Structure 1
Amino acid sequence: MLRNKGLTQAELSRLSGEGASKINEYSKGRILPSAVTAIALAEALDVSVPFLMLGRAGVADAAHSVPILDASRALPVSGHDLKLYTQQMTLDDHLLRQIGRQTTEGLIMVRAEGDAMAPVITDGAHVLIDRLDRRLREGVFAIRIGETMRIKRLRPVGVDGVELISDNAIYPPERFEGDLLAAFSIIGRALWTGTRL
């Protein structure tokens, strides 16, 4: 597959962020990558995860594809700014069943940045977000504060307030109440990042 893409193992290592020795082990079939690593490798090779892992060719079923949000740009208010969804990720039937869904309606994929939600959500991990589920309650959500996106545990507090909690204890909770809520909105509930949340 590397030859077909014109890549060396060293180049794939650089593109995927995976160590060169691991790339060698994967290519020889000695070990299998984790779900997060498989996604990174598939993206670097511009193939689907099923094709990478199982060698299954074919066109991805549009009903099982979700857009990947480029969160490095300003976030869309409505979710309809297609320039921000630059790639698609294919989900298999097993994952859809695991999260209790039959379709991908309202689902987007985002890439986590930083260690605030470690060890549950690691830096660079893909996180599946349900944009149809934006009701404030306890749980892990993708949120917008101004034009930036964050993934945090939310907990309603007081009459109209919300507390943002990081899983990494070095980051203190943040509270949004009153006028501060004007800059805060829920993008959607986090459903999966390698395992169901």
Structure 2
Amino acid sequence: MAADNDDKVSNRLPDLLAAHPNLSALSRDIGISRRMLDRYKAGVAEPTLGTAALIARALSLPMDALVSDVSVHHGSDVDASVAIDSKIARVPLLDVVASAGPGAENSHPYELDLLPFPRVWLDRIGVPERYARFVDARGDSMEPTIKDGSICLVDTRSGHARRDGIYVLVDGNSVRIKRIAIGWQGALTLISDNELYAPETLAAPDAEALKIAGRVVWAGGEI
């Protein structure tokens, strides 16, 4: 079934790839085959959400450069800009380093910037714009799911681990990203996707005291 037009990456992508001086190098940088890049360039294939993010970052472009519909014209540049802006959410990037490893020290977070993110993708993930936040992830304990240096989209509605998933945990000034598995009688197990790191189990009293800043729903791709 063909994707809805609002779900598609902008038709600017073929032109952007055609203008790139070395698609083979781009292919190596983002880990996507040259054959698939050629298909994107020819307009016969659409990248996924995660692939679009990789391409945008490699081309040093904001996400809205790939999701804005430049083929739509309403008689003026102002009208076209309004149409583009209606498709883009501006999500706060917090001054927080969430450690995928040992806890990292963080001061009280504030907004560093507003990063563009497609509204249709927020809808697909199921995160209302007002609850969406970006944080930086550092460390290797959540690899390969979350790579060192990834920007993670967090659903801040999740103050408690109500289901298994990946969460941002706060312990004083320490902020960590861990997968949480919910056990019997309120126990929680904190799991690193990297097998080199051992899991940590919290009994009910400690589990109840665990502060959760939100659930990680996207890190270069949907989680």
**Taking every aligned residue pair, what percent have the same amino acid on both sides?**
29
2:65 to 40, 51, 54: 51
2:135 to 100, 110, 124: 110
What per-residue deviation string (whole Å, max 9, x for no partner) do you get for residues 152-186 of structure 1?
11012343332100110000001223664576311
Q: Matched residues in 2 for 1:135 and 1:182: separation? A: 9
Q: Matched residues in 1 for 2:56 and 2:152: separation? A: 14
Report whether the alignment pairs 1:90 with 2:128.
no
1:140 to 166, 169, 194: 166
> 2:63, 2:118 within 8 Å by CA — same for their partners in 1?
no
RMSD: 3.3
Partner residue of 1:156? 182
2:93 to 59, 65, 68: 68
Taking a change above 3 Å as real, the CA distance of residues 151 and 26 of structure 1, as seen in their structure-2 partners, is farther
What per-residue deviation string (whole Å, max 9, x for no partner) do you get for residues 4-44 of structure 1?
xxxxxxxxxxxxxxxxxxxxx984273475524634764xx
Taking a change above 3 Å as real, the CA distance of residues 41 and 186 of structure 1, as seen in their structure-2 partners, is farther
The code of the aligned residue for 2:170 comes to R
For 2:141, what is the secondary structure of its paired residue?
Answer: coil
Taking a change above 3 Å as real, the CA distance of residues 131 and 40 of structure 1, as seen in their structure-2 partners, is farther
> 2:64, 2:117 within 8 Å by CA — same for their partners in 1?
no
> 1:36, 1:125 within 8 Å by CA — same for their partners in 2?
no
How much has 1:196 moved relative to structure 2? Answer: 1.5
For 1:66, what is the secondary structure of its paired residue?
Answer: strand
1:130 to 146, 155, 159: 155
Q: Matched residues in 2 for 1:29 and 1:64: separation? A: 31
TM-score (norm 2): 0.59
How much has 1:99 moved relative to structure 2? Answer: 0.7
Q: Matched residues in 1 for 2:58 and 2:81: separation? A: 20
How much has 1:105 moved relative to structure 2? Answer: 1.4
Structure 2 gaps, min length 5:
1-17, 31-50, 71-79, 98-104
Report whether the alignment pairs 1:38 with 2:56.
yes
